[in-house]
Structure 1
Amino acid sequence: MNSSSNQSLTPGFFKALYQANPDPWNFKTSAYEAQKYAATIAALVKPRYRSAFEIGGSIGILTEQLADRCEAILSIDVSDIAQSQAIQRCQHLPQVRFQLMCVPEAFPSEQFDLVVLSEVGYYWCPQDLSKAQQQILDHLEPKGHLLLVHWIVDAEVLPLTGDQVHESFLSLPDLRHLGGDRTEQYRLDLFERV
């Protein structure tokens, strides 16, 4: 684990990022992000999902693409600056709802047949990752899918690496691994709730 592994990054960290730059990871213009989003959508094995939960929707680019495959989607983020952009981007999509929320401090009460955790898990410390995993399992319907996508290049500022996040989900007995992909920069794994 990285040097700061005992604490999750706080909402204040993300607030400062978005205040300095409304698109701090160049989601709108990056060829890497566009390819990763295409692979993320392609990894979904069902043509439609009834109710999806996206943890860390940021400015809504992936949210907008997920909406084409979902009858309903709840997208959360800790940053109101990011989420206001997402709301604007997805205003033509009535099946998309947004909420400011910080997992694992809070979690929606409803059940989902798809949970998407993309580029979020390594911001949690091990204890918060474990809490979030239990919350996800508690709210993922049997036969529901969990899709993980994370950057795997190590960064000192992050509490965990992408690989550590994915390996921790692979060790959970309540999830069956359906498949995955790995590039030089990111890793993708799809699970089914048993």
Structure 2
Amino acid sequence: MSTFEGRDGTALIVVDMQRDVVAAAVDRDGVTARIADLVARARQAGVTVVWIQDTLDGAVGEDGWRIVPSLVPTADEAVVAKEHGDAFEGTSLEAVLAKAGVGALVVCGAQSDACVRSTIHGGFARGYDVMLVSDAHTTADLTSYGAPPPRQVIAHTNLYWSYQSAPGKEARVLEAAQVMFGG
């Protein structure tokens, strides 16, 4: 139902699951396991998997910049480097998705209140159907900066995205176990 004609494909977008980004994230291991399962199911269904990797203020190539060891992109999967919260801004993401005929995004990763949030909005504003995987995104404790506790941030992100709407495109929230690829 996206606004793109002839782009009926779906892509799993894995945002910033890097060692430093998720080092202090709530339910890191559970989220990582659910993302690994999503990746495996997407690959099995022939769904495009795209990995987003933040440049982390110049830490490219350092250990903390690397994607967590249990999530490994294959040689044929795009890894898109970004400098901004929205993975579409100043990156090749749109070109990667267009080439693959993608009009629908399934989004997971980190951090819920930053890059995940920016990317789901960025995709939706550009015309994509966007599904947020409710139990496959996480964030760190930023209460010292005035943010709510991490579990409340995650719950609120799921809540407000479930009410997102616009003509010609769909926003949804599903748990990882409910996500169906290829059917």
Give the TM-score, by structure 1 length. 0.47
Higher RCO (CA 8 Å, separation ≥ 6 residues)? 2
